[in-house]
Structure 1
Amino acid sequence: MSELDIGRYDLNLLRALLAMIESGSVTRAAQIVSVSQPAMSRILARLREDFGDPLLVRSGAGMKRTPRAEALADPVRALLKQAAALYEGEAFDPTAAQRVFRAAIPDVVAATLLAPLIEAMAREAPGCRIDLIPWPRPNDPVIATLDFAISTDTVLFAGLRMAPLFDDHDLLAVHVGQPATWRQVLEMLDAPHVAVVGAGATSDPVDDWLAAQGLHRRIAAVVPHYLQALMAVARTELVAILPSRLIAAYGPKLDVRAVELPIEQSIDRHFLFHPVERDADAASVWLRDLIQRTVGD
């Protein structure tokens, strides 16, 4: 039989066929599939026509299965099981999975989140790993290949689903050996600062924020990564305006402390992005839950 012929058959009748084969009774089969006895008799007549076989024949007070019906039992049972599995969705067992998850995470977030996320994945899914890609540019086709991204930039990942992940704000990072003697904002901004200008950027977002308020700071050095800025603060008299989570994670080990900025600022909300088509994907759902739990810890 070719695939084109399948349309002439009613596959919905296979469940009734299996009920009749297993029970050997039209009446009991009708009860199993919740139809009336006359309806089941009509179904049997249709099945006999489709298969070209009586399937069940009268034998004394009961019904007897034909050899054809006996032969159909296992294939029909397997087919119905496979059909049911289509509706259950693909299961994901992290303990047995072998999977590479591609992600885009800015270095300032990776500095505090990547290590605990890798440790959590090693515990729960030892056969899986995370591959970070270089930070994408707008309309970069690589964005469509990502399993997830973490960013404050809702425009860059506009085609992806997003959910709030965590909030952050900026503080002034200062070496513990350097006294904070600033009496006002302008004195603080006149201290020698190290700015962070990442790849593809033309300025530090901090300076854009200050400029919008009619302020500017004295920049003594520019680096491309936030950890480099923090290390500069730890080993020099430079200061830096950095995210609070970064300073909290590394400051105590580097003898760097945080000073509140006496300047009004908005919260930096970081979002977890994922492709729309992976909303219900079991592996993606598990991964997003792992990231949320890791951030919460």
Structure 2
Amino acid sequence: MDLNLLRTFMAVYEARSLTGAASALHVTQSAVSQAMNRLRRDVADELFYRSGRVMLPTPYARELFPVVRDALGRIENAVSAQTFDPAASGRRFRIALSELGEMHWLAGIVERVSAAGPGLSVDVLQLDPTSMADTLARGVVDVAINSANVPGGFQTWTLKHERYVVLMAADNPLATGDLDMDTYRAAPHAVVTGESGHVNIERAVEAYGGAGDPVAVLNHFAALPAMLSATNLIATMPQSLSARWVREWPLVMRDLPFALDPVQVRLYMRSAHQEASSLLWFRDIVLAATEAESGFTPVRSEPAAPGQP
């Protein structure tokens, strides 16, 4: 079988469109259509069907994908032989980050990438923990940094253990004295939507009877310092970000009035078929940037198997 047909199959599977696959392969859409027609005849399966504007894989295509991914990965790794030259490359890397991830690590990552090669660039995609396994499997991103577990057998590194604290204005009545569980539950809260660690806080508070609805629900963490400084709202926040804001704003940190295990923040690397030398280079750049920022040496983790938490 022509290996180019399999590469086209991978591109369509990842892009979910003929146009996107053609762009990724630097060929015409007609060439992609012709290759897919040949492959359909070879394997006696339609492989994809159209649903609205996207091409969805058939059950057989879903079975074929990991086999082709791993086989092409071995071939590409052998051919590339760690020959990536960042100084001469025009590679555009893709990383999925939350807003917190951007605030903590993006500057260090981009600084290192830019210093290594003038043609290199970095695209940041919004982190969606619910679809991250599929996003990594299809190669939409090269790496993702996430505090939620992502099943699927991806190579994984623990970047740090994040503790949570209560953040509030320095003149908030709760800034001094005892902050017990009843006081915490009754206080007016501000939360940020999409913060993956917040679900752990909600579960812990539920064990003590839960808390009322938050007074303010924000889209971005960047809006919190000014809001907390001007009100009596409190926010349960990652300690590392809170410590930075305490130095810049009239805010104080208080310990949580309940037990909560630190959250593990992890890096996940995309599937094996993309583990060419450029991907491994970018992974090492991200690991170096996160270590420089957090002071925590990344630890290789055992990947979560499909279906496991």
Calculate the TM-score normalised by the size of structure 1.
0.62
State the Cα distance separating 1:278 from its structure 2 match: 5.8
Equivalent AA in structure 1 for residue 184 of structure 2: M
State the Cα distance separating 1:232 from its structure 2 match: 1.8
Return the alpha-carbon distance in structure 2 between the equivalents of residues 117 and 177 of structure 1: 37
Q: Look up the match of 1:92.
A: 84
Q: Look up the match of 2:93.
A: 101
State the Cα distance separating 1:198 from its structure 2 match: 2.2
Structure 1 pair 294–230 and aligned structure 2 pair: CA distance change class (3 A) = same
Count of residue correspondences: 210
Q: Look up the match of 1:110.
A: 102
Structure 1 range deviating more: 91-100 or 206-215:
206-215
Are 1:284 and 2:294 an aligned pair? no
Structure 1 pair 217–171 and aligned structure 2 pair: CA distance change class (3 A) = farther
For the residue of structure 1 that corresponds to 2:227, the secondary structure is helix
Are 1:135 and 2:127 an aligned pair? yes
Are 1:168 and 2:174 an aligned pair? no
Return the alpha-carbon distance in structure 1 between the equivalents of residues 216 and 148 of structure 2: 26
State the Cα distance separating 1:86 from its structure 2 match: 5.9
Return the alpha-carbon distance in structure 1 between the equivalents of residues 232 and 91 of structure 2: 45
Return the alpha-carbon distance in structure 1 between the equivalents of residues 132 and 289 of structure 2: 29
- Contact conserved, 1:97 with 1:128, CA < 8 A, in 2? yes
For the residue of structure 2 that corresponds to 1:290, the secondary structure is helix
- Contact conserved, 1:175 with 1:255, CA < 8 A, in 2? yes
State the Cα distance separating 1:271 from its structure 2 match: 0.9
For the residue of structure 2 that corresponds to 1:265, the secondary structure is coil
- Contact conserved, 1:251 with 1:257, CA < 8 A, in 2? yes
Equivalent AA in structure 2 for residue 178 of structure 1: N
State the Cα distance separating 1:92 from its structure 2 match: 1.6
Return the alpha-carbon distance in structure 2 between the equivalents of residues 129 and 254 of structure 1: 33
- Contact conserved, 2:201 with 2:260, CA < 8 A, in 1? no
Structure 1 range deviating more: 208-217 or 184-193:
208-217
Equivalent AA in structure 2 for residue 264 of structure 1: A
State the Cα distance separating 1:88 from its structure 2 match: 7.0
- Contact conserved, 1:196 with 1:225, CA < 8 A, in 2? yes
Q: Given the alignment, which residue of 284, 290, 296 partners 1:295?
A: 290
- Contact conserved, 2:80 with 2:276, CA < 8 A, in 1? no
Q: Any gaps of 5 or more consecutive residues in structure 1?
A: 1-84
Equivalent AA in structure 2 for residue 170 of structure 1: Y
State the Cα distance separating 1:173 from its structure 2 match: 0.9
Q: Given the alignment, which residue of 190, 201, 215 partners 2:186?
A: 190
Return the alpha-carbon distance in structure 1 between the equivalents of residues 260 and 110 of structure 2: 32
For the residue of structure 2 that corresponds to 1:108, the secondary structure is helix
Equivalent AA in structure 2 for residue 129 of structure 1: S
Q: Look up the match of 1:239.
A: 234
State the Cα distance separating 1:131 from its structure 2 match: 0.9
* CA deviations over 1:129-159 (Å, ceiling 9, x no partner): 221123334377543221000112223x535
Structure 1 pair 205–217 and aligned structure 2 pair: CA distance change class (3 A) = farther
Are 1:261 and 2:256 an aligned pair? yes
Q: Look up the match of 1:211.
A: 206
RMSD across aligned C-alpha pairs, in angstroms? Answer: 2.8
Larger RCO: Structure 1 or Structure 2 (Cα < 8 Å, ≥ 6 residues apart)? 2
Are 1:177 and 2:177 an aligned pair? no
Q: Look up the match of 1:11.
A: none
Which is greater in Rg? 1
State the Cα distance separating 1:127 from its structure 2 match: 2.3
Structure 1 pair 142–235 and aligned structure 2 pair: CA distance change class (3 A) = same
Q: Look up the match of 1:8.
A: none
State the Cα distance separating 1:287 from its structure 2 match: 1.5
State the Cα distance separating 1:223 from its structure 2 match: 1.2
Return the alpha-carbon distance in structure 2 between the equivalents of residues 197 and 129 of structure 1: 29
For the residue of structure 1 that corresponds to 2:126, the secondary structure is coil
Are 1:221 and 2:213 an aligned pair? no
Structure 1 pair 160–238 and aligned structure 2 pair: CA distance change class (3 A) = same
